Amino acid sequence: MTTKKSIAEHTRPARPVKIAQFGGGVFLRGFFDWMLQKANDAGIYNGNAMIIRAKTRGADPLAEQNYTYTHVARDGENCDITVIDSVEGSISPADRPEDLLALAAIPTLETVVSNTTEAGIVYQYCEFSEDSVPETYPARLTRMLYERYRKGLNGLLILPCELIEKNGDTLCEAVKKHAADWSLGDGFNAWMDSECLFRNTLVDRIVSGKTDEEIDVPYSDNEINTSEFFHLWVIEGAEDSRLPFASIGMNIKWVRDVDEYRTLKVRILNGAHTSMIPYALLSGVETVGECMKTPITYNHLRACLFEEIIPSLGEEKAEEAIAYACEVIKRFDNPHICHRCEAISLNSVSKFKVRVLPSILEYRARYGKSPKNLIFALSQLIKFYKEGKPKDDERVIDLMRKGTLSEILSSTELWGEDISFLLPHFDLPQAE
C-alpha cells in the first residue's frame, strides 16, 4: 500500500502578510480563509493572513502541516475542494507578546478580520504596558493600532465577524475607551478616525469543521475543514479595494445598512441553533443532522422557529422570515455537514443573550405572554450549565452552576438586564 504524502509538503507561494486574523477556529478557516484562497488563486489578490490565537491550548495543529489544509464545501448539488495555503502562520500573544507588536509593524498589513464569538468584543479595563499585551481582543487591537501609529504606518480596514449588533461600531467604541484609559493622545485618536475603518458586518455560513468521513484527496491531511456550499458576507459601507473578493463571485454584499440582513439571520439561523443545542446535548444528540432526525429536537426546533421566533418579528416580516426559516431547515439537514453540537455550544450564554433573548422579549411585548418553547430552551440552557460540560468563561460557568434560578435570571452580568420576571414561567411543560 502506497503511503500518501503529507499536505505539509505542498509548495506554498510566498506572499506578503496583509491580514491580521483574530481567531483561528474552523469558522474563519472555512469562511474568510477560503475566500482569501480563492482570491489568491484567481490572481486578484496577493496576500496571506497571520492568525492571532486567543489563548494558548498547546501547539497549533496547523503548524504541523506548514499552515496548509484542505477545505471542502458541499451541498446536494455543489462540491468545492480547495487547498488553503494563504495562512502565513499563527502567534500566541499570551506566550510571546512581542509577536503581536511585530505583526502590527508589518508595512503591508491592510485588514483585520476577527471571530472571537459574541463574548469576544467586550471592554474590560486594563493597564497599558510597553512589554506585554492585554488579554481581550479590543485591548489587543488597540495596542496593535497604537504600534502602527507610532511607527507612522497606514491604518487598517477592520471587519469583525462576531454576531453582535453593530459589531464594528461596538469594537470601535471599546478601542476608543482603551485609548482614553491609556492616554494615547489626540494624535492617535485623529489617526484612527482618518486612517482606520471599522465596518459593521454579518456572516452566514455553516462551517462544521473536521469530519470522520473519508475525503478523497491525493495527500494526507489531519485538518480537513468542512462547510456547506452557501456563503454570505454583508458589509456596511462603500466597497473597499482592500477586499476585492466579490469580483470573483464571492457572495459579498456592500450595503448601506446591515441591520435588515442581521435580524433575520441572527434570530432565525443562529437563534435556532442556540435554542436547540443545550437540549440536544442533554438528550444525547451529538450533531445538528441527528437533531433533524430526532423527533424531540426537531419538533422543538420547528416550534421555536414557527410559533415564536418568526411571530416575534412581526407580520410585516412574516413571509420573508418563513421562507428563510424553511431554507435554514434544509441547510441544517445537509447530509454532507457534520456540525457537532458540542462545538456550537461554545459560549452559549452570550450567544443566547444575543440570538434568542431578543425574540423572547419581543414576543412578550407583542402578545403579552411568554413564549413557552423559548422559555423551555432557556431552562435547558441553565440545566446544561449545571449538569453538562459547558465551554465558556470560568466566571460564567461558576455563576450558572452555583446560582439559584432566581439569581441566574436576575444577573445583569449574564443577560445585560434583569430577566427574573420570566421566573414564574419556568414550570411550563415542554412543547409537543
Helix (H, G, I), strand (E, B) or coil at 386: helix
Could you tell me the pTM of the whole model?
0.84
Same domain, yes or no, for 278 and 183? no
Cell numbers found for residue 226:
468542512
Q: What is the pLDDT of residue 2?
A: 60
Distance CA 259, CA 281 (A): 31
**Structural domain includes residue 414:** no
Residue 120 to residue 21: CA distance in whole angstroms: 13
Between CA 319 and CA 337 the distance in angstroms is 27
**Is 398 domain-assigned?**
no
Q: What is the mean pLDDT of each run of 10 residues along the chain (432 residues)?
A: 83 97 95 98 98 80 95 90 97 93 98 90 93 92 98 98 94 98 98 98 93 86 94 96 95 93 92 96 95 97 97 93 94 88 93 96 96 96 96 95 96 96 76 40
Same domain? For 191 and 321 the reply is no
Q: What is the number of domains present in the chain? A: 2
Residue that is last in its domain, among 202, 222, 255: 255
The reply to whether 220 and 323 lie within a common domain is no
H-assigned helices in 129-166: 137-150
Indicate whether 251 and 320 sit together in one domain.
no
Indicate whether 363 belongs to any domain: yes
Same domain, 281 and 240: no
DSSP string, 246-297: GGGT--EEEES-SHHHHHHIIIIIIHHHHHHHHHHHHTT--BHHHHHHSHHH
CB 49 within 8 A of CB 161: no
Taking the alpha carbons at both ends of the chain, their separation in whole angstroms is 54
- If asked whether residues 184 and 234 sit together in one domain, one would say yes
Domain that holds residue 68: 14-255
**What pLDDT sits at residue 260?**
81
134 and 88: one domain? yes
Q: Do 132 and 190 belong to one domain?
A: yes
CA distance 285 to 294: 8
Q: Which helix (H) or strand (E) holds 114?
A: strand 111-114
Determine, yes or no, domain membership for 301.
yes
Q: What is the CATH number of the domain that holds 297?
A: 1.10.1040.10
pLDDT of 211: 81
Other CB atoms within a 10 A radius of the CB of residue 67 amount to: 23
Q: What's the CATH code of the domain at 116? A: 3.40.50.720
- CA 259 to chain CA centroid, nearest Å: 17
